[in-house]
Amino acid sequence: MRNTISLLGAALLGLATLPAHAEDIPRIARQDGVHRLLVDGKPFLILGGELGNSSSSDLADLEGHWAVLKAANLNTVLAPVTWEQIEPVEGRFDFHVLDGMIDQARAHDMRLVLLWFGAWKNSMSTYAPAWVKRDGERFPRARTAEGKALDILSPSYAGTRDADAKAFAALMGHLKTVDADKRTVLMIQVENEIGMIPQARDHSKAAEADFGKPVPAAALKALGTKKTGTWEQVFGASAATDELWQAWTFGRYVDAIAGAGKTAYALPMYVNAALPRPGAAPGGYPSAGPLPHLIDLWRTAAPSLDMLSPDIYFPDFTKWVPPYDRADQPLFIPEADQAGKTPAPANAFWAFGEHDAIGFSPFSIENLPAAGVKDLGAAYRLIDQLKPLIVSHDGGKTMRGFRAPVAYDGTVDLTPLKASFGAWDLTVTVVDPWTPKDAQDFAAHGGMVIQTGPDEFLVAGRGITVTFATKDGSVGLERVREVTYRDGAWVDGRWLNGDETHQGRHVRLPPTGFGVQRVKVYRYN
């Protein structure tokens, strides 16, 4: 007979004490030292996916994508709303595509994060309306040092900023009207992958004038220097200095946009970063976005933002996450490696388990192949079931995420991973002991461990094997049970005393599928 167990008891008690005002709009809050996204007053994990750029621009096209999004067990879709579409004529707004998108999302019981494709999308200005694109007098272009105009709006002109802010505020005001009661829309991304290219800064007339001014005191403080003077006097003449100025300028612009939007409807807002390839110098990558070396500057320049977020397409996922998991902001990954790549689920487990991520979202989600739907769908289902436990534990303390680090060139580091929960020392490997090595996709293995009692753990994920030790004695496995989630409760399944645990030597989650095991350990001497 199966036992219904109360793994969730403590977690649910914890959640019961949280405010749950129905009128709460989504917000970021710090609870017990961890940043949470609160939706309807309760912690929410975005199990997301971002649509390709054009898939939400036409409602008939969008309708065809929900089946895949549902099958992959998403609870949130990230989708663009473009300046060109909502304000085709200056001052005349058209929200019918947005309204249709919200209706479709509600019909499929899905939440949305909207991406404001305003002045910039991947550095360029392709989503600005024609009346902006064609009016270089009113909306000047960024320029190279040689004076060549770029297809990038300069962020140094108040007229452009104000027009962008006006459209964005109109969008937020409209959202308040149509969505404040149901709260289908959870958060807003402001612009998309801002960055100056092919030079580290804009050299338009207004940019040149501003670059020659003294560095603002707040920027000096953020950059940790006591020197004063112009940007070049303080930091020297270099592309790196150009990038600092440009980051401050972008940050101030975006702060004005986000501030105007929040005045209309104060949803959480973030800006996403296009990360640089190894060895690339400022100007050689979209420069001055919210990159790891510019986060302090950006956070100071744009206090209206709730967070800065990395778009992680490179294999070295574990390298790019820590800089964005900070005391002053939560971790949110709006774009993770293209949907369908096998490491995505392991990355999700690691981000939620180790870094208390508020959300994870592979890009081009509607193009997920069948294998990816199955894979990501299984991982998301499990993370959703674990959610009450995940949001009542602190990643890095009572919860740890595990996945092998991968280098930029794809090489997987198979050094066993170590973690301690009080006196219990865990060693975790992604090398499955019972599968031929050449048949294993190590980068796709990962999971999390949650300590649920003094000597009890929950191990979840796939392709990880865990051994337990203490400094002063040996550790045995008192009990290992497979558990599954049914009707709101974890239900004990098979007893794993024999070959599955190598007769008490380890806890093993096979690489063939996602699962959960409940483990009780004991010490012997």
Q: Which residues bind ligand DGJ (CB under 6 A)?
A: 53, 122, 192-193, 311, 335, 363
Q: Helix, strand or coil for residue 378?
A: helix
**Quick one: how far is CA 255 from the chain centroid?**
20
* DSSP code for 465: E
Nearer to ligand DGJ among residue 140 and residue 195 (C-beta): 195
C-alpha distance from residue 454 to each of 15, 177, 266, 446, 470 (Å): 21, 49, 41, 24, 13
Q: Are 90 and 56 in contact (CB under 8 A)?
A: no
Q: At what angle do helices 9-16 and 370-390 cross, to 10 degrees?
A: 70
* DSSP code for 224: T
Nearer to ligand DGJ among residue 31 and residue 122 (C-beta): 122
Q: Are 448 and 401 in contact (CB under 8 A)?
A: yes
Nearer to ligand DGJ among residue 85 and residue 300 (C-beta): 85
Q: Read out DSSP for 171-199?
A: HHHHHHHHHTTT--EEEEEEEES--B-SS
C-alpha distance from residue 330 to each of 169, 256, 269 (Å): 24, 21, 12
Could you tell me the two tokens for 260? 């105007």
Q: Read out DSSP for 95-162?
A: -HHHHHHHHHHHHTT-EEEEEEEEEEETTB-TTS-HHHHT-TTTSPEEE-TT--EEEEE-TT-HHHHH
Q: How far is the CB of 152 from ligand DGJ (least distance, A)?
A: 15
Q: How far is the CB of 518 from ligand DGJ (least distance, A)?
A: 40
Q: Which residue is nearest to ligand DGJ (CB)?
A: 193
Nearer to ligand DGJ among residue 79 and residue 207 (C-beta): 79
Q: How far is the CB of 432 from ligand DGJ (least distance, A)?
A: 31
Nearer to ligand DGJ among residue 53 and residue 82 (C-beta): 53
Q: How far is the CB of 336 from ligand DGJ (least distance, A)?
A: 11
Q: How far is the CB of 30 from ligand DGJ (least distance, A)?
A: 28
How many CB atoms lie under 10 A from the CB of residue 384?
A: 15
Q: How far is the CB of 308 from ligand DGJ (least distance, A)?
A: 14
C-alpha distance from residue 40 to each of 121, 307, 484 (Å): 31, 20, 27
How many CB atoms lie under 10 A from the CB of residue 417?
A: 20
Give the torsion through C-alpha atoms of 82, 88, 89, 93, to 10 deg.
-60
**Residues forming beta bridges with residue 192, ordered by sequence position:** 121
Nearer to ligand DGJ among residue 179 and residue 311 (C-beta): 311
Q: How far is the CB of 73 from ligand DGJ (least distance, A)?
A: 23
Nearer to ligand DGJ among residue 7 and residue 114 (C-beta): 114
φ, ψ of residue 234 in degrees (nearest 5):
-80, -45
Nearer to ligand DGJ among residue 52 and residue 405 (C-beta): 52
Q: How far is the CB of 97 from ligand DGJ (least distance, A)?
A: 18
Q: How far is the CB of 271 from ligand DGJ (least distance, A)?
A: 11
Nearer to ligand DGJ among residue 128 and residue 417 (C-beta): 128
Distance CA 222, CA 298 (A): 9
**Residues forming beta bridges with residue 466, ordered by sequence position:** 428, 507
Distance CA 167, CA 84 (A): 10
Q: Are 30 and 36 in contact (CB under 8 A)?
A: yes
Contact partners, residue 266, CB within 8 Å, separation at least 6: 25, 27
Q: How far is the CB of 305 from ligand DGJ (least distance, A)?
A: 17
Q: How far is the CB of 335 from ligand DGJ (least distance, A)?
A: 6
Measured between alpha carbons, how far apart are the two ends of the chain, in Å?
34
Q: How far is the CB of 274 from ligand DGJ (least distance, A)?
A: 6
Of 348, 409, 407, 353, nearest to 376 by C-alpha is: 348
Q: How far is the CB of 104 from ligand DGJ (least distance, A)?
A: 20
Nearer to ligand DGJ among residue 53 and residue 85 (C-beta): 53
Nearer to ligand DGJ among residue 93 and residue 313 (C-beta): 313
Nearer to ligand DGJ among residue 41 and residue 340 (C-beta): 340
Q: CA 164, 165, 169 angle in degrees (round to 5)?
A: 120
